[in-house]
Amino acid sequence: MTDGAASLLCRHLSSKSLSPSIRPVLESAFKRLTSRDISQAWTSGQWMTERKGGSDVSGTETLVKQADRSLQSTGVDGSPLGPYSISGFKWFSSATDANMAVLLARTHSGRLSAFYVPMRRTSPSNPADIELNGVTIQRLKSKLGTRTLPTAELVLNDMRGYMIGQEGDGIREISTLLNITRIHNTVTAMGSWGRGLAISRAFARVRIVGGRHLTEIPAHVATMASQHVEYRGWMHLTFFAVLLLGISEQSPTFHSPHPSPAPNTPLAKIQPSHSEAKILLRVLTPIIKALTAKASIAGLAECMESLGGIGYLENEDMEFNIARLFRDANVLSIWEGTTDIMASDMLRVLKGKQGAEVLQVLEAWLQRVAVPETTGLRERWWRWVMRIKGAGLEELQVVGREVMLELGRILAGVLLFVDARKDGDEVAVEIARRWAGSASTATDWREKVRWDRRIVFGDGDGGHEAVTSKL
């Protein structure tokens, strides 16, 4: 949320039309949001959810009016308080201990708008004292996971703030923040799952069942191998989105100081232009947010199971605490939009006025990458396109998850084959084939067992050596 708020403020600070009265305020907040000095750095919250629902912000009841100028108070950074007074109730507010927030509220005309609000201000009676900026914490939420992040019900009463952007553009403004937080959500999902897989591998090296290490039991390793294949595919798609974000945030004329991939190499072919990156990122962000969250939850459940009873414990061996990772991961498919909301978001792009252009950019990208026909991915792509073109939005929304999953798996499969082609790594080739459902390199079940071990543990002996206490 801090990164997203910084991106939102940065976009407005780069505009020459920004009001001179708000520019120094946003500059101060942006400087603190991006500071590496712990005494200066700020974090940001994001307040949208109200009693009527989460992702549906149409029921927002928080109201805004012109503030009473008689309040003699400033923000803790010395900035003047904003000209707007905000009052209402935010039912599910993350990062209650943040220094600022971006929130949605309705103006006197009923138009939903975005606002920057500092969390604290100086006391009107004594500037040396600091108080909350018109905020009362009604209660903290009791959650399944992410318990170290305080989430609360907040009562807002004359909270002072500044409007961000134009009146009525609240959803468009907040979307800048949402796109960043959804990518962070994705990276968190992959990071948590990767940690779980690392613990699972380490445990398999030392756990003995029936006189054999788990690394020597083919069924156990086969399950781990399937998880590692899934992880590899979604990881490639995740960091392709990160690449797209990096390209889209630069000026079209930006020249990186780092060397570009050599022309006509696999890496050069997957790198889109600035305009293509923005289009691809728009359709890919909801896909990766939804699919990596679901994959991470399922994957961590498998990791937890791979440890047996130890995996179910939380307090005895913190190095093996997959249970906490699993609890925390369950918020990832809910926060910033549920799976169905993400599928609907993707379909609105594909069936909207930009839909034809999105499909053209995707097709051009696939043509440039030139994945072999033998992978089956090109055929799957054409079937998917025909389905999108042949059905209306309402019909597609019924099967939105299915449509989203298929596109995600096609794109991840393409990236896996690009990775395999880059250096000819045998394991990468096998993983790409398994992901795409192509013929495996293995000729019989014994060969498949050997490939399973290579996918999970590399080309060593399976790793029977003891592991250190710090994994």
160 and 179 fall within a common domain:
no
CA distance 297 to 325: 9
CATH number of 405's domain: 1.20.140.10
CB atoms within 10 A of CB 32: 20
Both 77 and 220 in a single domain? no
Q: Which residue in 459, 423, 328, 436 sits closest to 380, CA to CA?
A: 436
| CATH number of the structural domain spanning residue 94 | 2.40.110.20
Beta-bridged to residue 164, according to DSSP, are 114
Nearest residue to 291 (alpha-carbon basis) of 234, 348, 236, 350: 234
- With contact defined as beta carbons under 8 Å apart, do 279 and 354 qualify? yes
- Both 119 and 213 in one domain: the answer is no
Phi, psi of 232 (to 5 degrees): -65, -40
What was the pLDDT predicted at 466? 35
Residues 218 and 361 grouped into a single domain: yes
Check if the beta carbon of residue 122 is closer than 8 Å to that of residue 73: yes
- Angle between helix axes 274-306 and 322-329 (nearest 10 degrees) is 140
| CB hemisphere CA count around 293 (13 angstroms) | 24
Q: Are residues 207 and 347 in the same domain?
A: yes
Angle (CA) 120 121 126, round 5°: 135
Domain containing residue 7:
2-166
Q: Are residues 162 and 179 in the same domain?
A: no
- Residue 295 in domain: yes
405 within 8 A of 384, measured Cβ to Cβ: no
Query: Which of 114, 149, 166 is the last residue before a domain boundary?
Result: 166
Q: Are residues 141 and 192 in the same domain?
A: no
User: Could you tell me if residue 29 is inside a domain?
Assistant: yes
Contact by Cβ (8 Å): 170, 104: yes
Does residue 466 lie in a domain region? no
pTM for this model (two decimals): 0.92
* Burial of 226 per CB tally in 10 Å (0-12, 13-18, 19+): middle
Asked if 86 and 233 sit in the same domain, the reply is no
pLDDT tens digit at each of 471 positions of the chain: 999 999 999 999 999 999 999 999 999 999 999 999 999 999 999 998 888 766 678 788 999 999 987 677 899 999 999 999 999 999 988 888 999 999 999 999 999 999 999 999 999 888 889 999 999 999 999 999 988 888 999 999 999 999 999 999 999 999 999 999 999 999 999 999 999 999 999 999 999 999 999 999 999 999 999 999 999 999 999 999 999 999 998 877 766 666 777 777 777 889 999 999 999 999 999 999 999 999 999 999 999 999 999 999 887 676 778 999 999 999 999 998 999 999 999 999 999 999 999 999 999 999 999 888 888 999 999 999 999 999 999 999 999 999 999 999 999 999 999 999 888 899 999 999 999 987 677 788 999 999 999 999 998 654 444 332 322
Final residue in a domain of this structure, among 166, 191, 220: 166
Asked whether residue 145 falls in the same domain as residue 293, the answer is: no
Shared-domain flag, residues 286 and 329: yes
Is 98 within the bounds of a domain?
Answer: yes
CA atoms within 13 A on the CB side of 240: 32
Residue 465 within any structural domain of the chain: no
Q: Is 256 exposed, middle or buried (0-12, 13-18, 19+ CB in 10 A)?
A: exposed
Q: Does one domain contain both 13 and 68?
A: yes
β-pairing, 100-106 with 44-47? parallel
CA-to-CA distance for 306 and 323, rounded, in angstroms?
Answer: 12
* Angle of helix 377-390 versus helix 400-423 axis, rounded to 10: 150
| Interatomic CA distance for residues 114 and 84, integer angstroms | 11
What does the block give as tokens for 233? Answer: 């595919």
Q: What is the C-alpha to C-alpha distance for residues 428 and 375, in angstroms, rounded to an integer?
A: 14
Which candidate, 200, 202, 203, places its Cα nearest to that of 224?
Answer: 200
Q: What is the 3-state secondary structure (H, E, C) of the chain?
A: CHHHHHHHHHHHHCCCCCCCCCHHHHHHHHHHHCCCCCCCCCCEEEECCECCECCCHHHCCCEEEECCCCCCCEECCCCECCCEEEEEEEEEEECCCCCEEEEEEECCCCCEEEEEEECEEECCCCCCCEEECCEEEEEECCCCCCCCCCEEEEEEEEEEEEEECCCCCHHHHHHHHHHHHHHHHHHHHHHHHHHHHHHHHHHHHHCEECCEEHHHCHHHHHHHHHHHHHHHHHHHHHHHHHHHHHHHCCCCCCCCCCCCCCCCCHHHHHCCCHHHHHHHHHHHHHHHHHHHHHHHHHHHHHHHHHCCHHHHCCCCCHHHCHHHHHHHHCCCCCCCCCHHHHHHHHHHHHCCCCHHHHHHHHHHHHHHHCCCHHHCHHHHHHHHHHHHHHCCHHHHHHCHHHHHHHHHHHHHHHHHHHHHHHHCCHHHHHHHHHHHCCCCCCCCHHHHHHHHHHHHHCCCCCCCCCCCCCC
User: Which tokens in the block code for residue 332?
Assistant: 């990832």
Domain count of the chain? 2
Are 147 and 274 found together in one domain? no
User: Which pLDDT value is given to residue 471?
Assistant: 27
Domain stops at, among 166, 195, 225? 166
453 located within any domain: yes
The answer to whether position 471 is within a domain reads no
**Domain annotation covers residue 269:** yes
pLDDT at residue number 322: 94
